[in-house]
Amino acid sequence: MTAASRVPVLYLSHGAPPLADDPTWTRQLATWSAHLPRPTAVLVVSAHWEEAPVTIGATTTVPLVYDFWGFPERYYEVTYSAPGAPELAEKVRRLLGTGGHPVHEAPDRGLDHGAYVPLMEMFPAADVPVLQISMPSLDPRRLLRFGRRLAPLRDEGVLIVGSGFFTHNLSAMRTVQEPDGEPPTWSAEFDHWGAEVLAAGDLDALLDFEHKAPAAAVAHPRTEHFAPLFVALGAGGGSVRSVIDGYWYGLSKRSLQLD
């Protein structure tokens, strides 16, 4: 692929396992993927795997990680047998290794729900190789640099996906009883601020979102679901547009494409 045809980078709000039952959101994800160039592989950095040094997950098809609790049994019976991506794993090792980043391996770790829940809607045939790597830090600037190390993969057809949630406070969201219920003020304010600074290309404000964004401490009591955005911003480095917006049980499901 040439630089002009390089694959975009995504930051998506991945939802919980019941996302599969939401006809609107599943349709939005399927429509999005239908308009993307078909990737040679998918590289996922999920909010649900923090580990330093950077760790590469399974490069063969192994069982999924059902990293959630209290859901009906059927959500623990879901499978997604995407091919492994050993060649991509080797490229990741080289890219990160030349930057002085040690790389570990976890050959038995399968995809967690931050990876497979959205990918099941976007690539339901499970015929695109998938590799998940850990998020080595929550520091926005470190993650931006981390994403920049991975950016060359785009020219080889690799779809880099940062998987989080644009607002994420599970305790506070319990006040919203329906998927399309009115979002709480804190979620709406943070989402509106985020959309504005992204549209303005104000990277400095984003990097300092914990101090600059309204209701940041409520929208993200812990920042692991916003952090994958900085990997995507580093790998993307181009224009940013919102592909999905709106709310799910009051949480902003804003999802972005970086071209």
pLDDT for 41 beyond 70: yes
Task: Give the pairing of strands 130-135 and 251-252.
Answer: unpaired
pLDDT for 3 beyond 50: no
CA dihedral 179, 185, 189, 195 (to 10 degrees): 10
Which structure tokens are listed for 40? Answer: 């040679």
pLDDT for 2 beyond 70: no
pTM, 2 dp: 0.96
Residue 95: CB atoms within 10 Å: 17
The pLDDT tens digits for 227-251 are 999 999 999 988 999 999 999 999 9
Confidence of residue 214 (pLDDT cuts 50, 70, 90): very high
Question: Residue 36 is which amino acid?
Answer: L
HSE, CB side, 13 Å, CA atoms: give it for residue 115.
33
In the chain, where the domains are located: 3-258
Decide: residue 113, CB within 10 A, 0-12 exposed, 13-18 middle, 19+ buried.
Answer: buried
Return the pLDDT at 220. Answer: 98
The pLDDT tens digits for 183-198 are 999 999 999 999 999 9
Q: What is the CATH number of domain 3-258?
A: 3.40.830.10
The pLDDT tens digits for 122-140 are 999 999 999 999 999 999 9
Confidence of residue 103 (pLDDT cuts 50, 70, 90): very high
Confidence of residue 1 (pLDDT cuts 50, 70, 90): very low
Confirm if 132 and 44 have CB atoms less than 8 A apart: yes
Average pLDDT, the chain: 94
Instruction: Please give the full DSSP string across the chain, using - where no structure is assigned.
Output: --GGGPPPEEEEE---GGGGG-HHHHHHHHHHHHTSPPPSEEEEEEEEEE-SSEEE--SS---------S--GGGGS----PPP-HHHHHHHHHHHHTTT--EEE-TT----HHHHHHHHHHSTT--S-EEEEEE----HHHHHHHHHHHGGGGGGTEEEEEEE-SS--TTGGGG--STTPPPPHHHHHHHHHHHHHHHHT-HHHHHTHHHHSTTHHHH-SSGGGTTHHHHHHHHH-S-EEEEE-SEETTEE--EEEE-
Return the pLDDT at 259. Answer: 93
Return the pLDDT at 5. Answer: 66
Closest-CA residue to 140 (of 199, 94, 197, 65): 197
Confidence of residue 99 (pLDDT cuts 50, 70, 90): low
Largest CA distance in the chain: 49
Q: What mean pLDDT do residues 141-153 have?
A: 97
Alpha carbon distances (Å) from 160 to 70, 148, 155, 170: 30, 11, 11, 26
Which structure tokens are listed for 16? Answer: 């919980």
pLDDT for 158 beyond 70: yes
Residue 109 to residue 64: CA distance in whole angstroms: 8
